[in-house]
């Protein structure tokens, strides 16, 4: 899967193009609870947006999550 190839610059995260694994690690650290790659994959299956290469734009993903909260998802 393209999303697992990693970021172009080792050691740096691009919030506009995070791999699913990087997104899970970052969100888990920021939120203080367990977030897994599989949880994000389930969100993608439910309609969460991704970039053409399968990476996650953190702002777009967060907006999708907030929109779902407003619907009671």
How does 13-25 read in b/e, with b if 16+ C-beta sit within 10 Å?
eeeebbbbebbbb
Residue boundaries of the structural domains of the chain: 16-71
Predicted structure pTM score: 0.77
pLDDT tens, residue by residue, 2-40: 444 454 566 789 999 999 999 999 999 999 999 999 999
Q: Considering the domain 16-71, what is its CATH architecture?
A: Orthogonal Bundle (1.10)
Query: How many degrees, rounded to 5, is the angle at CA 27 between CA 46 and CA 56?
Result: 50
pLDDT tens, residue by residue, 39-61: 999 999 999 999 999 999 999 99
d(CA 42, CA 57) in angstroms, rounded, equals 16
């Amino acid at each position: 899967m393209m999303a697992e190839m990693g970021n172009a610059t080792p050691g740096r995260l691009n919030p506009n193009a995070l791999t699913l694994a990087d997104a899970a690690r970052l969100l888990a650290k920021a939120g203080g609870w367990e977030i897994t790659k599989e949880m994000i994959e389930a969100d993608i299956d439910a309609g969460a947006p991704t970039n053409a290469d399968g990476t996650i734009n953190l702002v777009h993903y967060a907006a999708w999550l907030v929109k779902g909260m407003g619907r009671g998802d």
